[in-house]
C-alpha cells in the first residue's frame, strides 16, 4: 500500500491526496509507504484488511438488537419489529404490534432470559406505554399504559427479576409478572444501560453540563450519583460483568468522541486519547457497546467504528464503513442504539444510510490487535482544537475525581 502526492498543510501534519490499495486477504496488515518532496517512510501494522461488508436494504429503522437465544437480529420500526437471519442476511416475517398499540415507539429491550421483548414509547397524551411480546409467539402480546404524569425519557432496561425500569425524573417500573406500573422515588438520569443479565444498571444525564452518572441497585431500587461538570454525555455502555461502564460525549457539530471510563463505585478511571496521526473526522452515533469479554469499547461514528482499549483508553483500530451510519441529531433524547454485535464479537451490525451495514472482522473484537500509531510531533507542530478541548475537559474530570 502506498501513499503519494502528499501536501504538507502545517508543520508535522500531512494530508493525503492519493492512495493505491492493492487486493489483500482479511486479517493481513500491509506496510504503508508514504513519500513526498520532503522525504519518505514506511509504517507496518497501521492498517488491516477485512472481508467485504454487506448492506441489507431497509428503511425506517430505529434500533438494532441481537437475540442470541434464537440467533436473530431484531430491527425496530415504528409499527413492527423486523427480523433478520444473520446467517443468510434474509428478512423473516416481522413481529407486528397489536392493534391496541397506538403510541409512538422508539426503543426495545429483551428480558435476560429472552422470554419477553418490551417495546417502549408514549401515547398521544404523552403517557409512557409498553408493548410486551413473546418473541417465540407462544403467548399473546400485551399493551400497558402508565396513567400518571411522569417525566420519563423513553430509555429502558430490564432487571434480572423481570422489572422494566423506565428512566426519568423520577423513574417508574413495570413488573412483567403482573403487568403493573409502580412509581419509583429515584432519579436515574435520562439514559439507562444494563448488563445482559440485568444485575448491574448505570445511568447518565444527557446533553447537560452536569456530567452526572448513576448506579441503580436493581433489587433495592436505590440510586447513587456523581457529577463531573462540563461533560455532555450522549451515550452509555456497560461492560458484560458490570465492573465498568463508559458514558460517551458526542455532539452533532463536532467530530469524534470523548469517553469516560468508570468503575462500579462511580470512580473515574480513565479517558480516551486520539493518536496524533489519527484524528476523527465525523460526528458520533448512538450505540456504544463493550466487546463480549469487555476488553474493547466499540464507538460508532458517521463514517467509521472505533475500537478503544477499555483498560488503557487507547485506540486499537478504526474500521471505515462503506456508507454513512445514522449519526446523532439534536434535539434528541435517549436515542436507541443503532449498533449491535453477535455473541462472538466478530460481526458488527449498524443502521446506515440505506439499511443495515454488516461488517465481519478477521478476528473477534477482544483479540483485535492495536495499530501502531506513530507518536511523532515536530517542534513547530500544533495540537488541534479537538485535542485542546479534550485536554481541558480531562483536567476537569481529573480534578473532580481526585476530591
Burial class (CB in 10 A: 0-12, 13-18, 19+), 402: exposed
What's the confidence (pLDDT) of residue 30? Answer: 78
For residues 287 and 201, give the distance between their C-alpha atoms in angstroms, rounded to a whole number. Answer: 16
* pLDDT tens digits, 222-267: 999 999 878 889 999 999 999 999 999 998 888 999 999 999 999 9
Q: What is the mean pLDDT of the chain?
A: 86
Question: Where are the domains positioned within the chain?
Answer: 2-43, 54-401
What's the confidence (pLDDT) of residue 397? Answer: 52
Q: Give the pLDDT band (50/70/90) at residue 4.
A: very low
First to last CA, the chain: 49
SS3 365: helix
* pLDDT tens digits, 264-308: 999 999 999 888 777 898 999 999 999 999 999 999 999 999 999
* E-strand stretches of 49-158: 54-57, 63-67, 72-76, 80-85, 90-96, 104-110, 117-122, 128-133, 142-145, 152-158
Which CATH number fits the domain 54-401, given the four candidates 3.40.50.2300, 2.40.50.660, 3.10.310.10, 2.130.10.10? 2.130.10.10
* pLDDT tens digits, 64-110: 999 999 999 999 999 999 999 999 999 999 999 999 999 999 999 99
Q: Does residue 183 register a pLDDT over 60?
A: yes
* pLDDT tens digits, 43-63: 776 677 778 899 999 999 999
Q: Does residue 17 register a pLDDT over 70?
A: no
Q: Closest by alpha carbon to 343, among 102, 66, 148? A: 66
What's the confidence (pLDDT) of residue 15? Answer: 47
Burial class (CB in 10 A: 0-12, 13-18, 19+), 105: buried
Determine which helix (DSSP H) or strand (DSSP E) holds 305, and give its type and residue range: strand 304-309
Q: Decide the pairing of beta strands 2-4 and 32-36.
A: parallel
Q: What is the pTM of this model?
A: 0.87
Task: List the grid coordinates of 297.
Answer: 469499547
Amino acid at each position: 500500500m502506498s501513499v503519494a502526492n502528499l501536501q504538507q498543510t502545517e508543520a508535522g501534519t500531512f494530508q493525503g491526496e492519493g492512495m493505491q490499495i492493492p487486493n489483500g486477504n482479511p486479517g493481513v496488515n500491509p506496510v504503508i509507504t508514504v513519500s513526498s518532496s520532503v522525504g519518505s517512510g514506511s509504517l507496518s501494522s497501521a492498517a488491516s484488511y477485512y472481508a467485504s461488508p454487506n448492506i441489507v436494504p431497509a428503511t425506517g429503522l430505529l434500533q438494532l438488537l441481537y437475540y442470541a437465544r434464537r440467533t436473530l437480529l431484531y430491527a425496530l420500526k415504528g409499527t413492527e419489529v423486523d427480523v433478520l437471519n444473520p446467517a443468510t442476511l434474509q428478512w423473516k416475517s416481522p413481529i407486528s404490534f397489536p392493534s391496541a398499540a397506538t403510541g409512538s415507539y422508539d426503543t426495545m429491550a429483551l428480558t435476560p432470559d429472552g422470554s419477553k421483548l418490551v417495546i417502549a414509547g408514549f401515547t398521544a397524551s404523552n403517557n409512557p406505554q409498553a408493548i410486551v411480546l413473546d418473541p417465540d409467539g407462544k403467548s399473546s402480546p400485551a399493551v400497558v399504559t402508565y396513567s400518571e404524569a411522569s417525566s420519563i425519557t423513553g430509555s429502558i432496561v430490564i432487571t434480572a427479576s423481570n422489572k422494566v425500569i423506565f428512566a426519568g425524573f423520577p423513574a417508574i417500573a413495570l413488573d412483567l409478572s403482573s403487568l403493573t406500573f409502580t412509581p419509583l422515588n429515584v432519579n436515574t438520569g435520562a439514559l439507562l444501560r444494563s448488563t445482559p443479565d440485568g444485575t448491574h444498571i448505570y445511568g447518565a444525564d444527557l446533553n447537560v453540563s452536569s456530567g452526572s452518572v448513576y448506579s441503580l441497585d436493581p433489587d433495592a431500587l436505590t440510586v447513587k450519583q456523581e457529577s463531573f461538570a462540563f461533560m455532555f454525555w450522549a451515550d452509555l455502555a456497560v461492560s458484560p460483568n458490570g465492573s465498568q461502564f463508559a458514558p460517551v460525549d458526542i455532539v452533532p457539530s463536532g467530530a469524534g468522541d470523548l469517553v469516560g471510563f468508570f468503575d462500579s463505585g462511580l470512580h473515574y478511571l480513565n479517558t480516551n486519547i486520539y493518536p496524533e496521526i489519527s484524528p476523527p473526522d465525523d460526528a458520533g452515533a448512538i450505540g456504544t457497546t463493550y466487546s463480549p469479554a469487555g476488553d474493547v469499547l466499540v464507538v460508532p461514528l458517521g463514517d467509521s467504528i472505533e475500537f478503544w482499549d477499555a483498560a488503557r483508553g487507547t485506540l486499537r483500530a478504526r474500521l471505515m464503513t462503506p456508507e454513512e451510519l445514522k449519526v446523532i441529531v439534536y434535539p434528541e433524547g435517549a436515542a436507541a442504539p443503532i449498533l449491535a454485535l453477535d455473541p462472538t464479537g466478530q460481526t458488527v451490525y449498524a443502521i446506515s444510510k440505506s439499511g443495515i451495514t454488516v461488517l465481519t472482522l478477521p478476528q473477534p473484537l477482544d483479540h483485535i490487535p492495536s495499530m501502531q500509531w506513530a507518536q511523532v510531533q515536530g517542534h513547530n507542530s500544533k495540537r488541534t482544537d479537538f485535542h485542546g478541548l479534550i485536554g481541558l475537559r480531562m483536567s476537569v474530570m481529573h480534578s473532580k475525581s481526585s476530591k
